[in-house]
Amino acid sequence: MKTYLILILLLASKIIYSQTEFKKIDTLLTQITNQGVFNGIVLVGDDENILFSKSYGFADFEKN
């Protein structure tokens, strides 16, 4: 899981903020969430602007 988190952070720091890049990040995070590797919230911002925000996985593992 740490490897994926580092990969995600590297990708987020290197991207050119465009819809295409965010779709790629969303696809990657959706895939690793479906594999049960990642569960959480991703927020990418620049200064005072939120560029991408999405949650992945379950809010409550006991109910799901």
Q: Which of 30, 21, 24 is nearest to 55 (CA)?
A: 30
For the stretch 7-62, pLDDT in tens is 676 666 655 556 677 888 899 899 989 998 888 888 888 888 888 889 998 877 67
Answer yes or no: are the C-beta atoms of 15 and 48 closer than 8 Å.
Answer: no
3-state per-residue secondary structure call for the chain: CHHHHHHHHHHHHHCCCCHHHHHHHHHHHHHHHHCCCCCEEEEEEECCEEEEEEEECCCCCCCC
Global pTM value:
0.62
